């Protein structure tokens, strides 16, 4: 069987390490890691190239959380949903514990996602093909609603942050006419602000500035009591949590799968809805672990389900699967229903690699990265923060090799400092920035298509269901918010 | 801090100013053929919502302000300015040399701004610079 | 308490900084005049990683580095409908170490006033790929061939919609050119803007639009999967990857377009000796089967033009884009 070839195993391990490196460094992303690998993939056999891509993307998405754990720099917009919780968890209970939840939660989400990919790819693909711009519009609204109600005590401030994010997304040429908006005469702004640069500034660089302002000195970043962390922090502790919260893991993974298979920004919306649902329904106040678990499992479940439209329709779900389709075409492999009949060995290799990546690679490579993160957190603050500052500028520069992105990153660091001072949440800014273009573009396309007939937004059955989900989120959110406020008042 | 202090109303005022600025900035935007709204529609809708949030924040300002930023001293501001100049120094140095040297300089300036022990900062900066040089110049050829 | 220590700190700091800078300056060798190319080359791609231009450029870079004997690195400078990357290339040093892919949009953006840049701001090296537009419909669409579609457009103008890219993008221009060639007004099949071929195809499958005019390379996966049918190709000859798809000319419609092409270029005023060397290297590289076979299989058409022929090609494309954008009402 070709499946256990040495080259295949080597490709998996090399891909996992390479993915871990790219995921953990701010500014380097899973997309970039795969893009750099593509020219090599041209010369490789499909049965080696595709497993390597799967290993790279699965591990890179997890490793994006390493930045959150050390310095509150989320690797993807999806991980911004739980960056605060993961960061405070890693500082109070150790990076091994925080990243253990992340790695093992990702692993379980990924396994569930793979099972759905293997079992129902063709059926789900038919569903995905029914999504037109009206449905996408409502999905974006659902993501924004979930974002508002995930913002904690002050919904109005959460909404304000979201609006700032949406506003940032309008910089650059507009999606309908190609008209340049808010570019301040600088051609480099026509492309819009890069959301990764904004994210690095909002979270990472603002953290550096915040501690500079507060005069934090040579104290250590992590709790002093965490000297040398036991291995059980990484495996046993998180596993116990997952066993206790298995319902949560399944629910979040399913959310990740069912929003993630939509071509477009599925993965991000899935993680946000999962985190927000957990925050709203939690009975206890201290539920950081459960929020992180909800986010990571839905995030990695979406990595697998993004392959559904790519494999069964030939439609790329995200940039990684777009590149995978390119590899398919060059190897003469045709995606679509026929793939599942004619190329069964390849399909089995894909599913097998997903399982191996999630069962074996995430827990082992995850431990390696968590160890490094733990060491970094034991550095004194006034040495760790300069390193983070250097990583922030380099990361922002590396995204597009654009000096302007560094300027944007620094500016966002200052803006974030002011937002934090005013008690505004930061993650909502990122959500607004990611969903803004989706919302506007699908609204405009729908309106142009239907000749500005507002009723057309309520005519299609799936659109109506999604609208119902938005209304339900608002009602559930307001009830939970009231309950939380009264609960707090009674408590003190 | 008094509940109705002007200080707490700053966010609301900023939001209203932002909304007005967007409205002014989008007035020259073209519309779609047949007079339908075009590129200006979405920013204007945002401006409307920003204004609503601004009014809401003015009407009922919330007292919750992150504690640690309360005592932002003059020294703190100086340190922050040091950090900012460290980051902007990267842009000055990067075109001249390797990306690793530029990042190392950022690290150095930020470390000095945070008043860490100079030897430790130098070692950290050099190590960071070399790591970044290897990673980015080697792998990405920046 | 700070000042005396700070003085020592600053003194020592300066010594160390100078040392650090010297070491790194030595590490990245200074530019002594050497035979070209003596250090790695960079190729700027104005579109995002994973797209058609990116795929073709990375494939070319992989074979070009064997020809030149130096690494050729591809970087993506994306955004603004390609403006950002095109602008970055035009601003680079014309020393032959920074090259870039310029695409059909460079003949379009100056007409709409987005940028003053046009093809004369570059030293073109060679045409690499052309991506002809394909008229694509859902597989359950009622039209058997292109004449059925034209009949439907004539019978009920304005009810069928098309998509593929933004308003005034290359596939929109192909739509206008096609409609004009069959004697229809461009309002007979209005354009629904989209952020590229993939979202447009999603709309096509979901029944949101009726026709997609994106390139065959972009629609080929769905075509082979049996989800869409390609009625015709807007090219002069058939593509080897889809030998059963007829061209418009074979169907009696006099219209063909180069579609989305990609030219490897350097900033303006590249020294002639280096331009010649690069021309030869690209010609040799693009003939290699490890470059041509996978790209052709993926639906690209390789076409090699250089020198005066390339100048003429660019001038004609620029002229055509101007006419079509004028008809679309988008030119200044």
Would you call C73 helix, strand, or coil by DSSP? strand
Exposure of C150 in the CB half-sphere (CA atoms within 13 A) = 17
The total of other beta-carbon atoms located within 10 Å of residue C141's CB is 18
Mean per-residue pLDDT, C206-213: 92
Cis peptide before C248 (omega within 30 of 0): no
pLDDT at B2 over 60: no
Same domain flag for C121 and C139: no
Q: Please report which confidence band the pLDDT of residue C285 belongs to, taking 50, 70 and 90 as the band edges.
A: very high
Higher pLDDT, residue C228 or A24: C228
What residues in C contact A444, CB-CB < 8 Å?
193
A163, B91: Cβ pair inside 8 Å? no
Q: Please give the C-alpha separations between residue B140 and each of A391, C31, C86, in angstroms, as whole numbers.
A: 15, 21, 21
As a whole number of angstroms, the distance between CA A421 and CA B70 comes to 8
As a whole number of angstroms, the distance between CA A436 and CA A456 comes to 21
Torsion over CA of B65, B66, B69 and B71, rounded to 10 degrees? 70
Note down the domain range covering C292: 41-130+260-327
B56, A156: Cβ pair inside 8 Å? yes
Same domain flag for C62 and C209: no
Does residue C16 sit within a domain?
Answer: no
Tokens describing residue B61: 């300002």
- DSSP per residue, A177-206: T--EES-TT-GGGGG---HHHHHIIIIIIH
Higher pLDDT, residue C16 or C83: C83
The β-bridge partners of C99 are C43
Which member of A210, A383, A394 has the closest CB to residue B111? A383
Check: CB of residue A399 under 8 Å from CB of residue A197: yes
- What residue in A sits closest to B101 (Cα-Cα)? A390
Tell me how close the Cα of C20 comes to any Cα of chain A, in angstroms.
Answer: 16
Tell me how close the Cα of B128 comes to any Cα of chain C, in angstroms.
Answer: 12
Which member of C59, C84, C205 has the closest CB to residue A188? C84
- What residue in B sits closest to A425 (Cα-Cα)? B66
Mean per-residue pLDDT, C250-260: 90
Would you call A215 helix, strand, or coil by DSSP? coil
Which member of A130, A190, A264 has the closest CB to residue C84? A190
Note down the domain range covering A374: 2-491
Beta strands in A239-317 (DSSP E): none
Give pLDDT, residue B142: 52
> Is B7 an interface residue toward A (CB < 8 Å)?
no
As a whole number of angstroms, the distance between CA A449 and CA A328 comes to 33
- DSSP per residue, A28-51: --HHHHHHHHHHHHHHS-HHHHHH
Mutate which of A56, A174, A372, A386 to disrupt the B interface (most B C-beta within 10 Å)?
A: A386
What residues in A contact C298, CB-CB < 8 Å?
326, 329-330
Check: CB of residue B125 under 8 Å from CB of residue B104: yes
The β-bridge partners of C233 are C134, C247
Same domain flag for C269 and C215: no
B101, C24: Cβ pair inside 8 Å? yes
> Is B23 an interface residue toward A (CB < 8 Å)?
no
Q: How far is CA A48 from the centre of its chain?
A: 26
What residues in C contact A331, CB-CB < 8 Å?
294, 297
Q: What's the whole-model pTM score?
A: 0.83
Give pLDDT, residue C118: 92
Count: domains in chain A: 1
Would you call C288 helix, strand, or coil by DSSP? coil
Give pLDDT, residue B68: 43
The total of other beta-carbon atoms located within 10 Å of residue C137's CB is 22
C27, B126: Cβ pair inside 8 Å? no
As a whole number of angstroms, the distance between CA C61 and CA C80 comes to 24
Tell me how close the Cα of B23 comes to any Cα of chain C, in angstroms.
Answer: 23
Torsion over CA of A139, A140, A141 and A142, rounded to 10 degrees? 50
Count: domains in chain C: 2
Give pLDDT, residue A464: 93
Q: Name the residue with tokens 């030219």.
A: C263
As a whole number of angstroms, the distance between CA C115 and CA C109 comes to 6
As a whole number of angstroms, the distance between CA C221 and CA C217 comes to 8
As a whole number of angstroms, the distance between CA C44 and CA C263 comes to 12
A39, C61: Cβ pair inside 8 Å? yes
- Positions in chain A short of pLDDT 70: 1-4, 216-229, 264-266, 283-286, 487-492
- Which is nearest to C70 in space by CA: C106, C97, C110? C97
Helix, strand and coil content of chain A, in percent to the nearest 5, comes to 80, 0, 20
As a whole number of angstroms, the distance between CA A440 and CA A167 comes to 11
As a whole number of angstroms, the distance between CA B100 and CA B136 comes to 8
B125, C20: Cβ pair inside 8 Å? yes
Residues composing chain B: 142
- DSSP per residue, C118-168: -GGGEEEEEEEEEB-BEEEEETT-S-SSHHHHHHHHHHSTTSS-EESSSTT
Higher pLDDT, residue C102 or B33: C102
- Tens of pLDDT, residue by residue over C126-164, are 999 998 999 999 999 999 999 999 999 999 998 999 998
As a whole number of angstroms, the distance between CA C74 and CA A61 comes to 23
Give pLDDT, residue A228: 60
Which member of C12, C17, C24 has the closest CB to residue B98? C24
C205, A332: Cβ pair inside 8 Å? no
What residues in B contact C28, CB-CB < 8 Å?
97-98, 137
Q: Say which CATH number the domain at C220 has.
A: 3.40.190.10
Tokens describing residue A461: 């059955």
- What residue in C sits closest to A319 (Cα-Cα)? C50
Which member of B69, B82, B128 has the closest CB to residue A387? B128
As a whole number of angstroms, the distance between CA A451 and CA A141 comes to 21
- Which is nearest to A427 in space by CA: A174, A117, A151? A151
> Is B126 an interface residue toward A (CB < 8 Å)?
no
Interface of B with A in 52-71 (CB under 8 A): 53, 56-57, 60, 62, 64-66, 68-69, 71
Q: Please give the C-alpha separations between residue A468 and each of A265, A277, C274, in angstroms, as whole numbers.
A: 20, 16, 63
B139, A36: Cβ pair inside 8 Å? yes
pLDDT at B141 over 60: no
Check: CB of residue C185 under 8 Å from CB of residue C153: no
User: Residue A184, by phi and psi: left (phi above 0), alpha (psi -120 to 50) or beta?
Assistant: left
pLDDT at C330 over 90: no
Does residue C33 sit within a domain?
Answer: no
B111, A386: Cβ pair inside 8 Å? yes
A205, B135: Cβ pair inside 8 Å? no
Output phi, psi for C305, to 5 deg: -135, 145
What residues in C contact B142, CB-CB < 8 Å?
75
Which member of A163, A390, A393 has the closest CB to residue B50? A163
- DSSP per residue, B3-60: TT-GGGGHHHHHHHHHHHHHHHHTTT----GGG---TTHHHHHHHHHHHHHHHHHHHS
Which member of A38, A132, A313 has the closest CB to residue C208? A132
Tell me how close the Cα of A308 comes to any Cα of chain B, in angstroms.
Answer: 31
Which member of A133, A194, A326 has the closest CB to residue C298? A326
Q: Please give the C-alpha separations between residue A13 and each of A17, A18, A48, A321, C250, in angstroms, as whole numbers.
A: 6, 9, 12, 20, 52
Give pLDDT, residue B33: 67
What residues in C contact B108, CB-CB < 8 Å?
13, 17, 20
Give pLDDT, residue A249: 92
- DSSP per residue, B66-134: -GGGTT--HHHHHHHHHHHHHHHHHHHHTTTS-HHHHHHHHHHHHHHHTT--HHHHHHHHHHHHHHHII
Domain boundaries, chain B: 6-65, 74-140
A383, B103: Cβ pair inside 8 Å? no
C42, B141: Cβ pair inside 8 Å? yes
Give pLDDT, residue A381: 81
C50, A330: Cβ pair inside 8 Å? no
Q: Say which CATH number the domain at C313 has.
A: 3.40.190.150
Please enumerate in sequence order all residues whose Cβ is within 8 A of that of A289, keeping only pairs 6 or more positions apart, or say none.
A85, A89, A101, A241
Q: Which of C177, C198, C233 is the last residue of a domain?
A: C233
Beta strand C162-163 pairing with C211-212: parallel
- Tens of pLDDT, residue by residue over C1-30, are 344 555 555 556 555 665 665 565 555 544
Q: Which of C176, C198, C233 is the last residue of a domain?
A: C233
Check: CB of residue C215 under 8 Å from CB of residue C259: yes
Integer-rounded Cα radius of gyration of chain C: 24
Enumerate neighbours of C (3 or more CB pairs within 8 A).
A, B
Give pLDDT, residue C15: 58
């Amino acid at each position: 069987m070709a499946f256990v070839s040495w080259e295949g195993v080597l490709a998996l391990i090399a891909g996992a390490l390479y993915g871990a490196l790219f995921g953990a460094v701010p500014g380097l992303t899973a997309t970039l890691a795969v893009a750099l690998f593509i020219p090599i993939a041209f010369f490789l056999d499909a049965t080696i190239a595709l497993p390597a891509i799967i290993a790279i993307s699965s591990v890179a998405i997890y490793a994006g959380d390493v930045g959150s754990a050390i310095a509150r720099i989320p690797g993807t917009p999806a991980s911004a949903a739980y960056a605060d919780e993961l960061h405070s968890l890693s500082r109070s209970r150790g990076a091994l514990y925080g990243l253990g939840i992340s790695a093992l939660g990702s692993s379980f989400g990924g396994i569930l996602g793979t099972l759905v990919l293997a079992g129902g790819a063709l059926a789900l693909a038919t569903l995905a093909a029914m999504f037109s711009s009206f449905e996408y519009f409502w999905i974006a609204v659902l993501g924004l609603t979930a974002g508002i109600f995930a913002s904690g005590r002050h919904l109005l401030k959460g909404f304000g942050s979201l609006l700032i994010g949406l506003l940032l997304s309008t910089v650059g040429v507009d999606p309908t006419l190609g008209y340049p908006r808010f570019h301040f005469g600088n051609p480099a702004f026509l492309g819009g602000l890069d959301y990764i640069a904004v994210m690095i500034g909002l979270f990472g660089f603002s953290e550096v500035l915040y501690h500079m302002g507060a005069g934090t000195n040579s104290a250590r970043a992590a709790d002093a009591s965490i000297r040398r962390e036991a291995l059980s922090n990484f495996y046993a502790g998180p596993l116990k949590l997952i066993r206790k919260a298995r319902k949560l893991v399944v629910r979040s993974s399913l959310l990740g799968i069912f929003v993630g298979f939509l071509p477009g920004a599925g993965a991000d919306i899935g993680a946000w809805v999962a985190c927000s649902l957990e925050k709203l329904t939690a009975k206890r106040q201290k539920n950081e672990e459960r929020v992180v678990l909800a986010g990571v499992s839905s995030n990695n479940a979406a990595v697998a389900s993004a392959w559904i439209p790519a494999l069964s329709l030939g439609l790329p779900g995200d940039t990684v699967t777009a590149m995978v389709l390119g590899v398919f075409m060059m190897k003469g492999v045709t995606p679509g229903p026929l793939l599942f009949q004619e190329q069964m060995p390849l399909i089995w290799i894909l599913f097998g690699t997903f399982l191996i990546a999630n069962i074996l690679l995430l827990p082992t490579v995850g431990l390696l990265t968590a160890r490094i993160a733990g060491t970094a957190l034991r550095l004194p603050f006034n040495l760790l923060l300069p390193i983070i500052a250097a990583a922030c500028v380099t990361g922002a520069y590396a995204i597009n090799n654009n000096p302007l992105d560094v300027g944007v990153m620094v500016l966002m660091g200052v803006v974030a400092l002011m937002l934090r001072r005013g008690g505004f949440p930061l993650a909502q800014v990122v959500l607004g920035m990611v969903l803004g273009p989706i919302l506007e573009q699908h609204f405009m396309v729908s309106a142009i298509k239907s000749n500005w007939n507002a009723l057309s937004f309520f005519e299609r059955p799936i659109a109506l269901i999604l609208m119902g989900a938005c209304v339900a989120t608002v009602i559930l959110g307001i009830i939970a918010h009231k309950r939380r406020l009264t609960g707090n008042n009674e408590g003190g | 801090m008094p509940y109705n202090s002007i200080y707490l109303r700053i966010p609301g005022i900023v939001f209203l100013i932002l909304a007005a600025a967007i409205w002014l900035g989008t007035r020259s935007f073209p519309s779609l053929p047949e007079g339908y709204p075009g590129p200006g529609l979405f920013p204007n809708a945002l401006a409307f919502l920003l204004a609503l949030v601004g009014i809401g924040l003015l009407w009922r300002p919330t007292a919750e302000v992150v504690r640690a930023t309360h005592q932002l001293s003059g020294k703190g501001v100086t340190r922050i300015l040091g950090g900012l100049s460290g980051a902007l120094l990267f842009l000055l140095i990067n075109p001249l040399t390797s990306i690793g040297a530029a990042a190392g300089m950022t690290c150095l300036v930020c470390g000095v701004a945070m008043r860490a022990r100079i030897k430790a900062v130098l070692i950290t900066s050099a190590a960071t610079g070399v790591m970044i040089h290897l990673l980015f110049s080697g792998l990405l050829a920046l | 308490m700070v000042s005396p220590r700070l003085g020592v700190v600053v003194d020592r700091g300066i010594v160390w900084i100078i040392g650090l800078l010297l070491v790194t300056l030595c590490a990245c060798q200074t530019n002594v005049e050497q035979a070209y190319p003596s250090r790695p080359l960079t190729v700027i791609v104005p579109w995002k990683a994973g797209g058609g231009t990116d795929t073709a450029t990375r494939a070319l870079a992989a074979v070009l580095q064997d020809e030149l004997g130096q690494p050729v690195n591809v970087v993506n400078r994306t955004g603004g409908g390609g403006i950002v990357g095109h602008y970055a290339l035009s601003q680079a040093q014309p020393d032959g170490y920074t090259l870039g892919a310029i695409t059909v949009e460079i003949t379009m953006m100056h007409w709409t006033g987005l940028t003053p840049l046009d093809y004369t701001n570059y030293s073109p090296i060679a045409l690499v790929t052309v991506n002809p537009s394909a008229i694509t419909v859902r597989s359950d669409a009622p039209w058997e061939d292109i004449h059925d579609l034209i009949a439907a457009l004539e019978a009920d103008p304005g009810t069928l919609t098309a998509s593929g890219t933004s308003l005034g993008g290359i596939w929109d221009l192909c739509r206008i050119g096609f409609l004009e060639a069959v004697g229809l007004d461009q309002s007979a099949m209005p354009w629904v803007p989209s952020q590229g071929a993939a979202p447009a195809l999603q709309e096509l499958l979901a029944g949101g639009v009726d026709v997609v005019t994106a390139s065959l390379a972009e629609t080929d996966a769905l075509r082979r999967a049996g989800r869409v049918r390609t009625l015709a190709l807007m090219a002069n000859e058939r593509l080897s990857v889809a030998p059963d798809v007829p061209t418009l000319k074979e169907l009696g419609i006099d219209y063909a377009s180069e579609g989305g092409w990609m030219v490897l270029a350097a900033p303006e005023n590249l020294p002639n000796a280096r331009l010649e060397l690069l021309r030869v290297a690209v010609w040799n590289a693009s003939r290699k089967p490890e470059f041509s076979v996978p790209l052709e299989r993926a639906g690209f058409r390789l076409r090699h033009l250089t020198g005066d022929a390339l100048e003429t090609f660019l001038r004609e494309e620029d002229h055509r884009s101007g006419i079509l954008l004028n008809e679309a009402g988008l030119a200044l």
